[in-house]
Structure 1
Amino acid sequence: MVFSPAMPEKPYHVRSISMPSTSHPLVYKVEEELNKLKTWKTTPKSSSRICIGLGELKDLYDCVEEFLQLPLTQQALHHHQQEKWVEEVLDGSLRLLDICGTTRDVLLQMKEHVKDLQSTLRRRKGGDSGMLSRVDAYICHRKKVKKEIGKCLESLKGMDNKYAASLLLDQDYHLSLVVNVLREVSTITKKNFGSILSFMSSSRPKQKPSKWSLVSKLMHKGQIICEGEHEVRSEVENADAALSALCSCCGEIEMVQMAKKRLEELEQRIGSLEDALECMFKRLIQTRVGLLNILTH
């Protein structure tokens, strides 16, 4: 059976690999890891779940690396290296590396701006015009980040569109299995990267009401509650809301303390994502190098 191509903003669904009873145990292991990720519910609002998803993704790549080392797999790849799907696989692996690298760079920039703003808030008191100007600078940076993230998300969609119509091989069962596995791994990888990018770009819709209707000065378990909002928000959204409240309330000390808390939470989450993404970046390089070695020897 073939893999169903996944489309952005829809559930990533792929049919199971149809395997004969003689399939190598590693094939079952790869399918098991794929099924874990296919049923794993990630959400852009939950950075902790995104990190867990990246950990599961690394486990999948470990299994794929073993799968690629099988003599039957290497023979199938080597004998068909001139076919169109090889270009698809190699081009896809390179684009995933580019997106992973860009995502990692955006995370690093975002962390640096968060730390810089934290330093400003620690040194200054409420009502400081210089402090508010630094907050405005951070908000401007967030807008630039969203544009860059938008380009990355479009690139992910472009990968789906480019390969959606590609024909699967049917003349060789194991070769078809290899192609399908690599495509499905690519789809799962894009899903995880998309979750990270969406997490970093998340924000509340812009509002322009009066000072006190923008943010009710209500505290519920230490969290600012915007009027009409009850859903769970990400650390990015919480930080954005706290900074908006800080500006709208002219830097009142209570809002300064809340903003500092939210920025600290955001910095911790960015750090966790950065570590997980660094591991994935290295794993993607290893997988690409492994493929190139098989195809050139």
Structure 2
Amino acid sequence: MHLIELSIAKFEENLCRLKASETVCSSSFSSISQKLTRLQDLHECVENFLLLPLTQQALAQECGDKWINELLDGSLRLLDVCGIIKDALLQTKECTHELQSIMRRRRGGDMSFISEVRKYLTSRKDVKKAMNNALKVRESNCTDKNHETPAVVNMLKELDAVTIAVFESLLSFIAGSKSKSSSWAFVSKLVQPKRIACKGEEVANTNELEKVDAALQSLVSHKSKKSDNTIQVEDVQIWLQDLEANIQDIEEGLECLLRRLIKTRVSLLNIFSH
């Protein structure tokens, strides 16, 4: 069992790295991307672990129907949540791209432009609702280690739990704040020239999706007056470009993770089918 013990130790090491990133109080695409990268490393570790003959033997011999069902249900749940997030990001990216196209052709006061902005905001509301629903219906998973449970099973259950935790962070990030006052707080920060000068410091932990939502809502609602302190259409265009690029980066990370989730599920199905 020496190889299994070494693999579990490596798993714990990668798990500590991931949990360390979760303690950082940051709500931005960069922090989400970092978590996804470390989560991929953790899943790669488990992939290799499941290829060990001793691991397969331990799972086949020590897992009763209860553990088999829990592990397979857990892997299926991860695939479902990952799919929900991917669909939400794709929808947001497509709307972002359409909005950028019309902004390049139209002026800020054009009714077609305003209509496209409202379309984007409506789409974001639908996405937020889907994300919040996904958070509500998520099954709670017992993550307490049980000494009577095989070590291999404990490790796989902990992997499920930490993956769901990262997915929750991403779901919450996409859903954004439910408070209108907090959204307008983004606007007040972003329209002040003095603060824009040090934007890297003030907005480092800003939820980029909320920033764009608030700016577009400000334009549609005509809250910004024509002065040097208003949010300009040109500024929003830049934020939308950055947003699309960031979403693309997260999508690529999720795609890599999805492939690993599928590999893990296939490995489990093969092991338990013997």
Pairwise TM-score range, normalised by the shorter structure: 0.7 to 0.9
Q: What's 1:26 paired with?
A: 7
Q: Cα 1:268–1:292, aligned 2, differ >3 Å: closer, same or farther? A: same
Q: CA deviation at 1:248?
A: 3.1
Asked whether the 8 Å contact 1:111–1:267 carries over to 2, the reply is yes
CA distance in 2, matches of 1:230, 1:32: 32
Give the counterpart letter for 2:20 in structure 1: T
Hey, what does 1:235 align to over in structure 2?
208
Q: Does 1:296 align with 2:269?
A: no
Listed one character per residue, the Cα deviations across residues 37-73 of structure 1 (whole Å, up to 9, x for unaligned) are 1222355622112111111111111111222222222
| Partner of residue 13, structure 1 | none
Report sequence identity in percent. Answer: 41
What's the Cα RMSD here? 3.0
Matched, 1:265 2:245: no
Which secondary structure state, in structure 2, belongs to the residue aligned with residue 24 of structure 1?
helix
Give the structure 2 partner of residue 164 of structure 1. 142
Contact 2:82/2:167, CA 8 A, preserved across alignment: yes
Aligned residues: 262
Name the amino acid aligned to 2:42.
L
Hey, which of these two has a bigger chunk of helix by percent? 2
Equivalent residue, structure 1, for 2:170 = 196
Of residues 41-50 and 136-145 in structure 1, the stretch that sits farther from structure 2 once superposed is: 41-50
Does structure 1 retain, via aligned residues, the 8 Å contact 2:47–2:264?
yes
- 5+ long unaligned stretches in structure 2: none
Partner of 1:125: 107
Partner Cα distance (1:146, 1:224) in 2: 30
Assess, with a 3 A threshold, how the Cα gap between structure 1 residues 222 and 204 changes in structure 2: closer, same or farther. farther
Q: Does the aligned pair in 1 maintain the 2:4–2:55 contact within 8 Å? A: no
- Please tell me the residue identity of whatever aligns with 1:287: T
Change in Cα spacing, 1:23 to 1:75, as seen in structure 2 (3 Å) is closer
**Unaligned 5+ residue runs, structure 1?**
1-19
Change (3 A) 1:272 1:73: same
Q: Could you tell me which amino acid in structure 2 is paired with residue 234 of structure 1?
A: N
TM-score (norm 2): 0.85
Counterparts of 2:105 and 2:198 in 1: how far apart (Å)?
Answer: 23
Question: Aligned residue for 1:109?
Answer: 91
Aligned to 1:177: 151
Question: How many angstroms apart in 2 are the aligned matches of 1:104 and 1:165?
Answer: 26
Instruction: Confirm whether residue 285 of structure 1 aligns to residue 266 of structure 2.
Output: no
Q: For residue 273 of structure 2, what is the amino acid of its counterpart? A: T
The match for 1:206 is: 180
Q: Cα distance, 1:24 vs. partner?
A: 3.1
Pair 22,201 (structure 1): closer, same or farther in 2 beyond 3 Å: closer
